[in-house]
Amino acid sequence: MKKFVISLSTAQERRKHIVAEFTKQEVDFEFFDAITPVNINLMASQLGLIGFTTDLHENEVGCLLSHMTLWKKAIDEQLDYIAIFEDDIYLGENAKDFLLNTTWIPKECSAIKLEVLYKKISVALKQKNLSAPNDRKLLLLREPHMGCGGYILSNDVAKKLLSFIIESKVLIPVDHFLFRECSGIEVYQLSPALCIQDVTLTNGNTQFPSALEDVRNIRKGRYSKKVKLQYKAKLKKEIFRIFTQIQKLILNLTKFRRGIKTVKIKFR
C-alpha cells in the first residue's frame, strides 16, 4: 500500500511537520503536489471532467482534483489499497502497524476512515466484530463522518468514486463525495482514530493556517461578528438549548430503533 500526503509544494512548514511525523513512526510516504487554480482545467480534462459546474472556490476544486488524481493513480498502478493524508495531520501510536501492510484489513472494509473530526459518530448497532491491531476496531458508519485528513481506499472504491464524480458533473467537497453522496460504498471508521488534523486537535488554534480552510468557512457562512447578548436573548438561547437536547434524545432513540447507535470517537 502506497501512502501519499497532499501538500502544496510551497508549504515548507507543513512538509517539515509531515516528515517529522512519518519519520518518527518509521512509515514511508510520498508527497503529492496539490493541484492549484493555475492547472485546474488541465487536470480536470485529464480526469475526464468536461463541462462541470460548481459553487466551490477554486482552491476547493483543486483539493478535490488532488484526491481524484491519487485515486486514478491507484487504478493506473493497480494498487490494491492507497492511503491518502492531508499535510497537517498527526499520526497516532503504532501507526506503522496499519500503514506498512494491508493484512489487517478485512475484505469487506474497502473504505476506511482513519481520521477523527466529530466527537461522536453514528455506527451500526449490530455488526461483525472487526478487530484491528493495537486494540482498535473497525466500526461501520451509518451516517457521514466528514473530513479527508486520512483514509484508505481499495482499488474498486477508487474506480466507483471517479466514475460517480465524472458522471455527476457537479463538483462538491471531496469528503461529501466520499462519505455521503456516493451510494454503494460502505465506510468503516478505525477507532480509536489513527490520525487527526491540527485544526481539530487544537480546537481551531492551528499552527498551520490554511487559505483553503478560510474559503470553506466563508462559503459556509462561519465568519460572522459576535454580538453580546442581552438577558432576554440569553434566556431564549438557554431555552432553545434545552429543546435541542430533547430533540437529540428523541433522535437517538429513533436511530436506535433503526439499528444505529451513537458512540464517542477518540484519537490515540
CATH, residue 118: 3.90.550
Orientation angle between helical segments 58-76 and 40-47, nearest 10 degrees:
40
CA-to-CA dists, residue 114 to 224, 250, 268, angstroms: 32, 30, 11
Range in 11-20, 127-136, 234-243 with the lowest mean pLDDT: 234-243
Q: Could you give the 3-state DSSP secondary structure of residue 253?
A: helix
Would residue 233 count as lying in a domain? no
* In-domain check, residue 21: yes
Residue 154 lies in a domain: yes
Residue 63 has pLDDT above 80, yes or no: yes
Tell me the three state secondary structure of residue 141. strand
The Cα angle at residue 29 between residues 26 and 30, in degrees rounded to 5: 155
Helix runs in 135-261, H state only: 155-168, 174-176, 198-201, 211-219, 231-257
Residue 14 lies in a domain: yes
Strands (E), the chain: 2-7, 30-33, 53-54, 81-86, 89-91, 111-113, 120-124, 131-132, 136-140, 150-154, 170-171, 188-191, 195-197, 260-264
Q: What is the pLDDT of residues 246-255, one digit of tens each?
A: 776 676 667 7
80 falls within a domain? yes
- 134 in a domain, yes or no? yes
Whether 227 maps to a domain, the answer reads no
Axis crossing angle, helix 155-168 with helix 58-76, rounded to the nearest 10: 140
Average pLDDT, the chain: 89
Residue numbers of the domain that contains 16: 2-217+259-264
Between 51 and 155, name the one with better pLDDT. 155
pLDDT for position 242: 74
Considering the domain boundaries, does residue 88 fall inside one? yes
CA atoms within a 13 Å half-sphere pointing along the CA-CB vector of 64: 29
Looking at the structure of the chain, the number of domains it has is 1
Is 206 or 226 the better-scoring residue by pLDDT? 206
